[in-house]
Amino acid sequence: MSNGSTVSEFLLRGFSDVRELQILYFVLFLIIYLAALMGNLLIISAITMDHRLHTPMYFFLVNLSILDLGSISVTVPKSMVNSLLDTRVISYPACVAQVFLFVVFISTDFALLTVMAYDRYVAICHPLHYEQVMNRRVCVKMAASTWITGIVYSAIHTGNTFMLPFCQSNVINQFFCEIPQLLKLACSDSYRSELGLLSFSAFLGLNCFAFIVGSYVQILKAVLRIPSEQGRHKAFSTCLPHLAVISLLICTGFFDYLKPTSSSASKLDLVVGVLYAVVPPMMNPVIYSMRNKEIKAALEKLIVWRLFPKN
């Protein structure tokens, strides 16, 4: 291709060219997608219907589940359709929309996890001032700010990426449209501005990570000062799911963006793409429901109410 104006569609990379394996991948992705859909919807429904869970921590958890639903719905259904129909094509507008929405959900997810770290810090280190500091208005403003930040951040990235002329190829070495893979298709003298923006984004991400680490250092000090073992266990139990979710997102995301780049197609790119785009939205509901007795009780109450509504 000579310039970006000739690009009307992109070709996504499939997991296999064998028809039987394509059907197998469709079934596997369908199971994963339904599991993520069911898990996150159960979390949202349980928290919404149980008034005891109308607290800042669970308010942010509802937002996290919405983000997980959005991020996995942006990537997996299109890949499933391509596997089922034995095609790799994605239109230029659909690729733009996929990049924009995916970056919105992922960046907002990370910003929200940072806010949730602050929420846990206030709850454990300053419990007497918790209701005053984390009141309803503050929580709504904090959640709204993460969404607005994610939308603005994504708009800048998406616009900057698709302003580039694509003169290398139109074959994306990933099962969904991803900025690092799109940059490989850009003309060699045209992608430096977006690389600079990605570097600045990495800097912001490291600052958020440092804030989270600093918050948990203070939390750990406060927990160790709690005299009773039961109190320490309760404090840790509210923090462990959040730490697990952060670790899963950061480890998979950083591994994808910091791994050595290669111009040739690699199975590692597909595997890592699945790890950070598909696994976290599916595992987050499991992580939060396994370690949280209140979530377990709310889910049991919801399931029993649906099975036996008259009782």
Task: Please tell me the class of the 19-307 domain.
Answer: mainly alpha
Structural tokens at position 130: 């918790």
In the three-class reduction of DSSP (H, G, I as helix; E, B as strand; rest coil), residue 186 is classed as: strand
d(CA 27, CA 50): 34
Structure tokens at 292: 């949280």
Give, in degrees to the nearest 5, the angle at Cα 45 between 119 and 231.
40
pLDDT score recorded for residue 1: 43
DSSP label of 260? P
Mean pLDDT, rounded, of the chain: 83
Concatenating the DSSP letter of every residue in 92-104 gives HHHHHHHHHHHHH
- The 3-state DSSP class for residue 172 equals strand
Res. 56: pLDDT tops 80? yes
Average confidence (pLDDT) over 12-23 = 85
* 304 or 10, greater pLDDT: 10
Query: 106 by DSSP, 3-state: which?
Result: helix
Query: What is each CA distance from 38 to 29, 84, 97, 247, 299, in whole angstroms?
Result: 14, 22, 25, 23, 12
* Structure confidence at residue 310 (pLDDT): 58
The tally of CA atoms less than 13 A away on the side-chain side of residue 177 is 24
CB 22 within 8 A of CB 12: no
Q: Hey, CA dihedral for 25, 26, 28, 29, is it positive or negative? A: positive
Q: What pLDDT, on the 0 to 100 scale, is given for residue 306?
A: 63
How confident is the model over 99-127, as a mean pLDDT? Answer: 92
Q: How far apart are CA 307 and CA 311, in angstroms?
A: 9
DSSP letter at 166? B
**Residue 2, pLDDT score:** 43
What ranges do the domains of the chain cover?
19-307
Q: How far apart are CA 210 and CA 233, in angstroms?
A: 25
Which pLDDT belongs to residue 128?
A: 87
pLDDT in tens, 129-154: 888 889 999 999 999 999 999 999 99
φ, ψ dihedrals at 73, nearest 5°: -75, -20
AA letter at 15: F
Identify residue 296 by its one-letter amino acid code. K
Burial 150-171 (b: 16+ CB within 10 A, else e): bbebbeebbebbbebbbbeebe
